[in-house]
Amino acid sequence: MRIRSLTARFVLTLLLSTALPFLVFGVIVRVGMRERLEAQVVRVLLANQSALLAKELDGLTASIYRDASLIELAARKLLADGDVNAFERELDLLPGFHSDFQVVLVADAHGEVRVTIDTFANEDGARAARESLTPATVADADWFRATLAESRSLVWADRHLSAFLHRNPERTTRNPSDYSIGLALRVAGDGDVGGVLHVLVPWQRVQQIADGVTEQLRSQAGFAGAVASVCDPAARVLACSDRERYVGHELGETLAAAVRIATPEPAIVTFADASGVGAMAGVARVERGAERGLDWRGVVEVPSQELFATVRDFDRVLIGLTVFVVGTLVVWSLLVSRAILRPVRDLAQATRDIARGDVDVRVRVRGRDELAALARSFNGMSAQLAQSREQLRQAAQEAAWAEMARQVAHEIKNPLTPMRMSAQLVQRARRDGDPRVQELVDRLARTVIEQTDQLARIATDFRQFAGKRDLELAEFSADELCDDLAGLFAAEQEAGGASLSFQRDAGAARLRADRGELRRALLNLVQNALQAAGPGGHVVVRSSREDDGRLAFVVRDDGPGMDEATRARLFEPYFTTRSAGTGLGLAISRRIVEAHGGSIGLLRAEPGCTEFRILLPGLPLQADPANGRS
């Protein structure tokens, strides 16, 4: 039906141009409010609280290791002079020893228990019962054998019921005070190993951290359903403010997957709990947990209905306000439609002009009434739009500079890593009295000189990613590149993580290339492989000469592989599967290799074996003057 009345048309126009935008604005505000609230929850509550939980756990493990190291010093004296009383006196001087430890056991290199000290009440019955659980030798204990192994000087036992405190350590319990953390340290002697120190720390110290985070969320933020947990890499709950989760509790698939791949940077997960109720969680990995042997994750959960209670209240207010505004607009439009039709037409036309992109349009201001004020407001809005367009142009230009800065940051990250690892190794060697300090200092000096030269080169020569740089060609052997990489990763290998080995099968094969650029290309591949393999994994770098005279460098890791979609985009700039990084590593490696007339590609990408290969033109083999062979 066609509307003929101008008043009716005005009413309809006013409703469409004012009431409808108001409704859209209300919906946008509602969505924006939820998004902003969610961002605040992610930033201030879940992310910060999960990061705080992980940080406190990190501090706890550091504190345990620090105190155990002090006990290890006392254990050296005990194994040397056999003075048990002096050993006990030194332990009594440690701040918090009686509250922070349960049992301290010292065994010699043959596993014979030299002394056992507990911090329980000195009751004859309790002490006799505890002493009956202590064996005369621990030579067959897993932690003892692992600690004496060449590759292990520090062994952690995660949450468990200790055989030194419980007659039935295989049972299950929901009482955190029944559990312990074990730490075994190699005790240096006059020769190589003097013995092993084993300490038990009450699991209640971990539980107190989880309870403290939960209490803060419940009392200060008002989230009564908040739960804080500590999980292992397999998503098994180790500690939780909800004691029912100590036995038989399994995390949902979505949350468990996030726990398994957690990083020190907090991640936010939306999931449904076992009862189907929606919830959100912050997940953060203890930064140095894997390095110390306790790869924990801090998890903080809050039900969604508690997080977004404010949004539901806003919905009710929005509905009531919408009804009121629409009713008011209808009544008002019927009363003043004839007087405002002309200004409305002008405003409608100006609105259409702006919709077409003419942000310089202005409407004529007549009188001093509300419509005149509306016209002035419209003109102000138009001016603001023009200003916003200019700001967007400037923002695009700044974004381009920011992109270039990210690329430079990616390039300088690789030289900084070996310098940092070498410095940490020297620092730790000096602290532990390692006799290799001077050797490590020399290695640090060489690494710093080499990598600062590399940084200077990057800073001088870096151009836009699409640009081209001149190569500094020199002749060298293929195996020398392997030697360069071995030196760069030496400190990192001693610090732990995936192991790295080299197979130098290129023999006398040589090539003419920019050594520093090729080293950067291989460095990107090796670092990616070490991260994919993870702790306990293995990476192999092999150099060889192909039958056609080309030189091959193969980097293989035993990580989880990658799916088809990831393979298809591997060498795309800015594509990455990690939460940190710019995604330029493989793209830069390909550009370097192709600049040398070579090729780079993925050979295999299956679970347990991922291989990248670089092929480069090689120089003809030189004849051996001794026998005339080449």
Claim to verify: residue 218 and residue 315 sit in the same structural domain: yes
Given this model, what pLDDT does residue 609 score?
92
What is d(CA 246, CA 391) in angstroms, rounded to the nearest whole number?
55
Given this model, what pLDDT does residue 610 score?
92
Whether 439 has a pLDDT exceeding 50, the answer reads yes
* Per-residue pLDDT tens over the stretch 529-562: 888 888 889 999 999 999 888 999 999 999 888 8
Claim to verify: residue 323 and residue 412 sit in the same structural domain: no
Claim to verify: residue 172 and residue 260 sit in the same structural domain: yes
350 lies in some domain? no
187 lies in some domain? yes
**Better pLDDT: 399 or 595:** 595
Whether 335 has a pLDDT exceeding 90, the answer reads no
Indicate the residue among 277, 302, 328 that finishes a domain.
Answer: 328
* Per-residue pLDDT tens over the stretch 489-498: 887 777 677 8
Question: Do 424 and 491 contact (CB within 8 A), yes or no?
Answer: yes
- State the pLDDT confidence band at 124, using cuts at 50, 70 and 90: low
Which spans in 462-584 are helix H?
Answer: 478-488, 490-494, 515-533, 564-568
Q: If you average pLDDT over residues 367-378, what whole number do you get? A: 76
Question: Do 504 and 481 contact (CB within 8 A), yes or no?
Answer: no
**Of 242-256, 322-336, 513-527, where does mean pLDDT reach its minimum?**
322-336
Residues of the chain with pLDDT > 70, as a percent, come to 83
356 lies in some domain? no
Whether 625 has a pLDDT exceeding 60, the answer reads no
Claim to verify: residue 414 and residue 534 sit in the same structural domain: yes
Claim to verify: residue 609 and residue 510 sit in the same structural domain: yes
625 lies in some domain? no
**Of 126-130, 330-334, 524-528, where does mean pLDDT reach its minimum?**
126-130
Claim to verify: residue 463 and residue 315 sit in the same structural domain: no
Whether 465 has a pLDDT exceeding 50, the answer reads no
Given this model, what pLDDT does residue 629 score?
41
309 lies in some domain? yes
- Other beta carbons within 10 Å of 117: 17
What is d(CA 322, CA 341) in angstroms, rounded to the nearest whole number?
24
Note the pTM of the prediction, 2 decimals: 0.48
Given this model, what pLDDT does residue 626 score?
47
Whether 580 has a pLDDT exceeding 50, the answer reads no
Looking at the structure of the chain, the number of domains it has is: 2
Identify the CATH number of the domain in which residue 510 sits.
3.30.565.10
**Better pLDDT: 126 or 490:** 490
Indicate the residue among 271, 300, 328 that finishes a domain.
Answer: 328
Claim to verify: residue 420 and residue 298 sit in the same structural domain: no
Task: Supply the range of the domain harboring residue 79.
Answer: 8-328
Claim to verify: residue 285 and residue 145 sit in the same structural domain: yes
What are the φ/ψ torsions at residue 38 (nearest 5 degrees)? Answer: -65, -40
What is d(CA 406, CA 590) in angstroms, rounded to the nearest whole number?
18
Indicate the residue among 310, 328, 346 that finishes a domain.
Answer: 328
- Which run of H or E residues covers position 476? strand 474-477
Given this model, what pLDDT does residue 399 score?
65
What is d(CA 529, CA 524) in angstroms, rounded to the nearest whole number?
9
Bridge partners (DSSP) listed for residue 19: none
What is d(CA 385, CA 392) in angstroms, rounded to the nearest whole number?
10
Question: Do 584 and 595 contact (CB within 8 A), yes or no?
Answer: no
Claim to verify: residue 457 and residue 584 sit in the same structural domain: yes
What is d(CA 286, CA 292) in angstroms, rounded to the nearest whole number?
10
Token digits of residue 92? 């009594």
299 lies in some domain? yes
Whether 203 has a pLDDT exceeding 80, the answer reads yes
Which residue type, as a one-letter code, is found at position 54?
Answer: A
**Better pLDDT: 453 or 86:** 86
- Which residue from 176, 388, 212 is spatially nearest to 298, judged by alpha carbons? 212
Claim to verify: residue 307 and residue 436 sit in the same structural domain: no
Given this model, what pLDDT does residue 466 score?
47
Given this model, what pLDDT does residue 285 score?
94
If DSSP codes are grouped into helix, strand and coil, which group holds residue 162? coil
- State the pLDDT confidence band at 105, using cuts at 50, 70 and 90: very high
Ranges 21-35, 115-129, 415-429, 446-460, most confident: 415-429
* Per-residue pLDDT tens over the stretch 58-78: 999 999 999 999 999 999 998
What are the φ/ψ torsions at residue 285 (nearest 5 degrees)? Answer: -90, 140
246 lies in some domain? yes
* Cα distances (angstroms) measured from residue 594 to each of 468, 517, 570: 11, 11, 16
Cα torsion 560, 565, 570, 575: sign: negative
Complete edge-to-edge strand list for the sheet that includes strand 551-557: 499-505, 538-545, 551-557, 609-616, 599-606
Identify the CATH number of the domain in which residue 48 sits.
3.30.450.20
34 lies in some domain? yes
Question: Do 225 and 302 contact (CB within 8 A), yes or no?
Answer: yes
Question: Using DSSP, how many helices (H) and how many strands (E) does the chain show?
Answer: 19, 17
What is d(CA 20, CA 23) in angstroms, rounded to the nearest whole number?
5
Q: If you average pLDDT over residues 582-599, what whole number do you get? A: 82
The average confidence (pLDDT) of the chain is 81
